[in-house]
Chain A
Amino acid sequence: MAAAAPGLRVVIAEDAALFREGLARLIEGRGHQVACSVADGGALVAAVATHRPDVVVADVRMPPTHTDEGLRAAIELRRAHPTLGVLVLSQYIETRYAARLLEDNAAGIGYLLKDRVADVAEFAEALERVAAGGTALDPEVVSQLVRSSQQYAGLAELTPRERDVLALMAEGRSNAGIAAALVVSASVVEKHVASIFAKLRLPPSEADNRRVLAVLRYLQP
């Protein structure tokens, strides 16, 4: 990725020390800098104010209540620092959590299962994408949100293939990435993307903007 300038400043919030250290090692192994590692939501907000990172990686379930403090901290951080990339990690993907995260803007947001960290290169790419203002949604988030938003007009007109393309777009992939995933040529993907924009009635303007809008329309219930 072009925007993936090496040397991103990252803040990690994760209460399990073992996983936190592994994560820091992984991120540093990719040439980035872990400015600070904390273990709860309050400390995360404070660490961001101090260290001014490019992107934060936050666990959803942290002390003291072990419910959704990571998520709440992430939303609060996004309001305070709109350009900050926020990548939320969790053992579970919850539809409502995804909707809350994506409520304002899907740019610079990531929501992944912790399992995805195991695929180091893909995870690093997702992190860099989020830092650059892109989106990285777990395939599970996408499939859940797709199902719960199927009844909406416009989306209903999409063919199954176009829906697949849109789902991959929501995961944050580029046209080339989508083409590789679906094993088709880039021009076929471009045709699908144009058709999606038309069916969702998104006016031709800057391509990236339309992309984000399409994803948002798709994800928001």
Chain B
Amino acid sequence: MAAGQWPARRPGGGLVRGIRAAARAPLTARARRELLFCAAAAPLGLCVLVVPVALTGLPLTVTLLAHGIHPAHHGPPAGLAIFLGLAVFLVLLALLVLAPRLARRLAAAQRRLAGHLLGEHIAGPAPVRAGRGPVSWTGATLRDGPGWRAAGYLLVQLPLAVIGCYVVVIWWAAGLVNMTYPLWWAWFRNHPAGVRLSPVPVLTPFGVLHVATIAGTFAAFAAGAAMVAAAPWLTRAVAAADLWLMRELLGPGRLARRVADLERARALAVDDAASTLRRLERDLHDGAQIRLATLAMNLGMAMDRLAAGKDQPGLAEVRDLVGAAHQSAKDAMTELRDLARGIHPPVLDTGLPDALATLAAASPVPVRLTTGIAHRPSQAIETIAYFCAAELLANAVKHSGASAITLTVTGQAESLLLRVTDDGRGGADPAAGSGLAGLAQRARTVDGRLEVTSPPGGPTRVTVELPLHA
């Protein structure tokens, strides 16, 4: 904004400011950081050159080696050639397989540099998910999209790294050296009169000048100053281009970013829904429920007084009316309690085991409950697990004809496992429009899953797996 207003008010002011800014540019902290970034990132980028060097150098070395061992022959014996060829092939194959992993390492170093020096924090991709064993490891590496993108970045960045090196060496370093020429001319060139000196080379981006006089050294100084003045803008351009490449190729892909955004939004929605229900239950508890309890208590006291009172005309009718009101208040309390418990059982706040114990005890079919929760899940997940357990127990009681139910809940480092087993008749089908389909859907809202094994004749086993956080 300010830059746009200045020239209009003070013609020429913008120009002066521009010149001043240009003169100051090489001295700013930003220029220093960008220079450091180029100086560090460019050599790192050149590491990629190891690959073509290895690709061409290795077979060459091997061939030379083979010839060296048997100088008398024109070629190596067939066995050795095959062995060496195989060795080369294997090394190259290993290099290819390792490429995404190595590229990830180098790219991570580049990202750290950008973060430390330029303040540009680029989120890294998710780590490679590999199972156990070399086959799974290799497969995961070869399918590692972010790893290959990092490799692509390193290839595309290679010319940029060359330009970066060029700017650092020619524009910055040579420029600074050139600016020192007048100084050391005076110190080292105190030769006797009449001695003819060979000219001193001055390195500039446009070729090598040769100066042989003190006036020439000032020309070299001027050239150096111009180079140093221009250098910050060049390093800035290189750094900006590199950052753009990094953002495009090293950060999580657009789809991955979108997925991450959606996951975050969904987790918020799930947690928010759970806390809304908790608040609702809490409001009921502190409001309507306590008022009803007080009402029922007061009516109870009124009944007491009426019972103690002397029989007067009409008193029996009052007694009946108060009695009816008293009963209604008690019934309403029971109904409201069941309703509130269905919204959010408050005992869940002290943990899933306490809540499930009451649930298990309330079941008409005996339930054997086992809980082992090392890592407590989020409240939203606990709520989902609780209502899944409630529904599964109710299903088992209603449909299976079971005489015993087992409810097991285990909390592992990454997931919560809930399993309900009954010894009933089996044959439960999640596809047959039962409550199981609804439960599966409920689990899916947080990336959980539901598994049913229920052969005809039983037993039925339903497993619900939920993440620890939505």
Contact = CB atoms under 8 A, between A and B. Distances in A.
Interface of A: 16, 18-19, 22-23, 25-26, 29, 61, 65-68, 91-97, 99, 114-115, 117-121, 123, 144-145, 147-148, 150-151
Nearest to B298: A22
By Cβ-Cβ distance, the 4 closest A-B pairs, closest first, are: A118-B296, A144-B361, A148-B361, A16-B290
Contacts of B329: 118
B341 interface: yes
A66 B279 CA distance: 12
Contacts of B298: 22
A151 B406 CA distance: 13
Interface of B: 282, 285-286, 289-291, 293-294, 296-301, 303-304, 326, 329-330, 333-334, 337, 340-341, 345-347, 349-350, 353-355, 357-358, 360-364, 366-368
Nearest to B336: A91
B301 A120 contact: yes
B366 A94 contact: no
Given A19-B293, A91-B340, A92-B341, 15 more contacts: A22-B294, A65-B349, A66-B282, A67-B350, A93-B358, A95-B361, A96-B353, A114-B333, A115-B330, A115-B333, A118-B297, A118-B299, A120-B300, A148-B357, A151-B368
B366 A117 contact: no
Nearest to B365: A147
A94 B290 CA distance: 18
Contacts of B297: 19, 22-23, 26, 117-118, 120
B304 A121 contact: yes
A185 B107 CA distance: 88
Contacts of B358: 92-96, 144
Nearest to A89: B293
Contacts of B346: 61, 66-67, 91-92
Contact of B290 (A19, A29, A96, A120): A19
Most buried by B among A93, A96, A99: A96
Contacts of A120: 297, 300-301, 303-304
Contacts of B282: 66
B274 to A, nearest CB: 16
A145 B330 contact: no
19 contacts: A16-B294, A18-B294, A61-B346, A65-B349, A66-B349, A67-B350, A91-B340, A92-B337, A92-B345, A92-B346, A115-B293, A118-B293, A118-B296, A118-B333, A120-B300, A120-B301, A121-B304, A144-B361, A147-B362
